[in-house]
Amino acid sequence: MKTRKLRDLEVSAIGLGCMGFSHGYGPGPSDSEAIDLMRSAFDLGCNFFDTAEAYGAGENERLVGRALAPIRSQVVIATKFIMREPVPGVQLGQEIRRRLEASLTRLDTDHVELYYQHRVPESIPLEEVAEVMGKFIAEGKILAWGQSQATEQQIRRAHAITPLTAIQSEYSMMERIFEKDVIPVCEELRIGFVPFSPLASGFLSGKVKPDDSYVGDDVRRVITRFQKDNIRANQPLLDLLDAFAKKKGATPAQISLAWMLHKKEFIVPIPGMRKMERITENLGAADIRLTDGEYQQIEAELAKIEIHGNRTDADIAKLRDMK
Ligand SMILES: NC(=O)c1ccc[n+]([C@@H]2O[C@H](COP(=O)([O-])OP(=O)(O)OC[C@H]3O[C@@H](n4cnc5c(N)ncnc54)[C@H](OP(=O)(O)O)[C@@H]3O)[C@@H](O)[C@H]2O)c1
């Protein structure tokens, strides 16, 4: 697979979002199957693996660490810490260091290539986080750092202290809010952009049906994009993808990934995939080339399509109170 640059960090053009192996999409494959899937993705040219301390309360990092141990020197691991409030009586830098050390232990490694602040609440002093990240880089514990779901201003403030390598935020044909100012600021400051949920939790594959049901911690139970009426109302988007898929001898999921790869050279999506055929399909999108004309045509058609429903942290929080 071709590679791309997130600032100075070289990664495969498409990465693997590992969250779903332990978190957020209901029951997943067994650990041994998940490990085989991650290694198979590597064999197909994917070297960029995304996890977080929050996924399965550390279980996901353990699994990713086990899967990648034999190929550790050939892969780029991204993980994240999440703090919504300061911990009373604990200095912020010490708290983040404790979390990083715990992630490294779970991942069975002495460093990670990319370490994100998973959310950027104003209650956590952003400048202090950026300084701490600079120290971790100087110590070699992380090679680079990033933010997730940051605003343009938060990116500018953080980058002025310790240059950012990547912004990881939700981006797909169904969620384009960051096109307005975040993707442009990434371009201006030479920061990579890593779309999460690039297939809108699988909706853009065209395989989701209104009567599909989901269980456990599956976000598709609560995000409005997966409400029956919205699934039906979003059919014009799938029709567009279908038409291009037929024309290009590709699948709708591949077209939606090829569209964002065409948009900017510094965009590196990380779809989640828990079946071998989906890994082959999604990674195969890196070989689908849209012409400038095709890309412009998709953009023009997208501008006419109204999107129904979304994916918000507030909706996902409702899962906590559901059986
Ligand atoms: N920074 C953040 O706050 C944040 C938030 C969310 C996610 N993430 C990261 O981003 C990664 C990707 O997010 P995501 O998992 O929501 O991405 P996604 O690729 O939009 O959705 C993943 C789900 O879509 C379905 N899917 C994927 N490819 C498919 C295909 N070709 N055909 C049919 N269905 C397909 C799969 O469902 P089934 O598994 O049911 O088959 C899969 O679990 C995560 O793994 C995580 O690492 C970060």
In degrees and rounded to multiples of 5, residue 258 shows phi and psi of -60, -35
- Assess whether pLDDT exceeds 90 at residue 32: yes
Per-residue model confidence (pLDDT) at position 168: 98
Ligand 1 atom index nearest CA of 118: 1
pTM for the structure as a whole: 0.98
Report which of 91, 149, 87, 86 is spatially closest to residue 117, judged by C-alpha positions. Answer: 149
Spacing, Cα 170 to ligand 1 middle (Å)? 11
Residue 209 lies in a domain: no
Average pLDDT, the chain: 97
How many angstroms separate the alpha carbon of residue 16 from the centre of ligand 1?
Answer: 9
Residue 300 lies in a domain: no
Is residue 216 one of the residues assigned to a domain?
A: no
Pocket of ligand 1, beta carbon within 6 A:
17-20, 25, 50, 118, 148, 168, 196-202, 205, 207, 253, 270-275, 278, 281-282
- Residues 29-47: what's their mean pLDDT? 98
**pLDDT(50) > 80:** yes
Q: What is the pLDDT of residue 184?
A: 98
> What's the domain range around 75?
3-203+252-289
Tell which atom from ligand 1 comes closest to the C-alpha of 251: 31
CATH number of the domain enclosing 154: 3.20.20.100
Q: Is residue 178 part of a domain?
A: yes
Q: Count how many domains the chain has.
A: 1
Residue 157 belongs to some domain of the structure = yes
Q: Is residue 297 part of a domain?
A: no
Classify residue 148: in a domain, yes or no.
yes
Give pLDDT, residue 321.
86
Summarised one tens digit per residue, pLDDT across range 126-184 is: 999 999 999 999 999 999 999 999 999 999 999 999 999 999 999 999 999 999 999 99
- Rounded alpha-carbon distances, angstroms, from residue 237 to 45, 72, 85, 284: 30, 39, 39, 21
Catalytic residues: 55
Query: Atom 45 in ligand 1: which residue has the minimum CA distance?
Result: 17
